Amino acid sequence: MRELATVGVVALLFGLGAFYADRDVPAFALANLAVAAVCLLGAGALALRRTQRGGASPAARRIALVRFAWVGLALLVAYTGERVAARSGLVWDVTADQRFSLAPATRQALAALPDGVTATLFHEAQDNRARSTRLLLETLAGAGSLAVYERTFDEASQEADRYGVGSSNTIVFEVGDRFEVVERPTEGTIQEALLRLGTAQRTVLYIGRGEGEGRLDQTDDAGYSGLAAALDGEGYQLRDLVMPAVTALPDDASALLLVAPRRRFRDTTLGALEAYLARGGRLVALLEPGEETGLEALLARWGFELPDAVVVDPASGPVEGDPPGVNPIVFQFGDHPVTRGFGPNQMLFFRRARPVLPVRKPEPDDQLRGLAFSSRRAWLAPNTAEIQRGLAPRRPPDGAEDYFPLIAAGRYPRESGAARIVVFGDSDFANNRYLRSLYNSDVMLNAVHWATAREAAITLRPKILTPDQFPLTPQQSLRMLYGVGLLVPELCLAAAALTWMRRRGA
């Protein structure tokens, strides 16, 4: 009887642990709960049978009564503690990824919401994922003016159809006649939906077109439609600017964004850019190695040196099947608003990036700084066709090691206004394939915010996929352990408990 109860308790603990640790209901948890139910019911039946045989004596009844009293007291204490904790309002987020601790960006999005915003969770009655989503919504409601409701498909199928809800565990945010549907709710996807519902003032951002630039309407991995969506969510109104036809930048331009131009700009275009910056304009440029556009000479007059070389950082190792170091992972940052809050755990990922060296201030009051640096072991390889084809670079004899900046920024106070320039030595980091990698989207959006003088919008955003640079969430790691990884420890624990009980009873 005791052995059967011990196996049941171990199975129950592992089953409940898997059930509450994973938002989905795993087969591992269901199998353990089934085994626990069979074992505990069997042990209870054996105990009842034994009690009927010899439990009529007063001594047996006293022992049974004392044990039942202890069990009842334990249940009462547990229930009382749970009720006190629920009523206290205290929250202790012990999840490894801090899933229920809101990021500053989410709190800002909540504060910007108009009155009357509602959030409705649609789910199947037995969907285990709704537990964590419900708790996340309660956290959001406690931090801002958000009314939270819950509907099952059985009771609100027509309402779900009206919003186009196609899967369980979906949230619909609604204000007035506008609504946003979040089908895979995480704090990151929720924050983006809240931004779209907010009433933030739209800032006009011009996007360069016509000289081979990256397309913000291109949806494949090499395109930048994800960047366009992120900028739209952050309150920017994107307008195309055909660069070959430019003779002057529009007066309503808060900034100009140039994404990987591939051809040389015309002299009239470069002159218009120079005049725009001279009167306090703002420029964000993502420049690839090996491309001669004419911007290099223009930026040199504003203090930036852009060698046609590739930063090779052996500290990064091989990434994406390329040789070690050519795709650096950056974890060292300068002191600047764009990188506010960045540290060793907020990494960036670049692909074959060129250095951006802030070498000379045009005027004494100008401010030029590197923002993101390679490790001390990095060196510069001449940009060759072999590197672009994925071959390992060869270190030149004069290839000195140093911290090389891959992003740099400059601020230039002038009588007509303070110009601002941010230069990236790579553009692939912001394409659809890599924008969501690590903290690439944060540094890209923060650079645009700083260039347009929207420093209040600079923040670290909640992650859409994983909380930070860690490759797997605890839930993903747990799923990899199902089977051998969790079954073996469970069997070992049950065997150890049975052995101890038998030796103790011998």
The per-residue pLDDT for range 169-226, each reduced to its tens digit, is: 999 999 888 899 998 888 888 888 888 887 556 899 999 999 999 999 999 999 999 9
Q: Which residue has the higher pLDDT, 250 or 82?
A: 250
Q: Name the residue among 191, 103, 97 with its Cα closest to residue 476.
A: 97
Give span(s): CATH 3.40.30.10, the chain.
Answer: 104-194
Please tell me the distance from the alpha carbon of residue 251 to that of residue 270, in angstroms, as a whole number: 17
Average pLDDT on 47-56 reads 60
Please tell me the distance from the alpha carbon of residue 327 to that of residue 312, in angstroms, as a whole number: 8
Average pLDDT on 153-157 reads 87
Residue 471 pLDDT grade (very low, low, confident, very high; cuts 50, 70, 90)? very low
The per-residue pLDDT for range 325-358, each reduced to its tens digit, is: 999 999 999 999 999 989 888 899 999 999 999 9
Please tell me the distance from the alpha carbon of residue 28 to that of residue 365, in angstroms, as a whole number: 64
- The rounded percent of the chain whose pLDDT value lies above 90 is 46
pLDDT at res. 474: 44
| Ordered alpha helix ranges (H), 165-222 | 187-197
Residue 76's Cβ-count burial label (10 Å; 0-12, 13-18, 19+) is: exposed
Check whether 58 has a pLDDT greater than 70.
no
Architecture of domain 202-455 in CATH? 3-Layer(aba) Sandwich (3.40)
First to last CA, the chain: 16
Sheet (strand 419-424) strand order = 236-242, 203-209, 255-259, 282-286, 419-424, 405-412, 367-373, 332-333
Check whether 480 has a pLDDT greater than 70.
no
Strand partners, 349: 329
pLDDT at res. 91: 63
- Average pLDDT of the chain, as a whole number: 84
Check whether 54 has a pLDDT greater than 60.
no
Please, what CATH class does the domain formed by 104-194 belong to? alpha beta
pLDDT at res. 21: 56
Range of weakest confidence among 108-117, 150-159, 352-361: 108-117
Global pTM?
0.71
Q: Tokens at residue 227, please?
A: 């960047």
Per the CB < 8 A criterion, the answer to whether 417 and 407 are in contact is: no
Q: Tokens at residue 407, please?
A: 């992003």
Per the CB < 8 A criterion, the answer to whether 309 and 383 are in contact is: yes
Per the CB < 8 A criterion, the answer to whether 367 and 334 are in contact is: no
143 torsion bin: left (phi>0), alpha (psi -120 to 50), beta (else) = alpha
150 CA to centre of own chain: 26
Give span(s): CATH 3.40.50.880, the chain.
Answer: 202-455
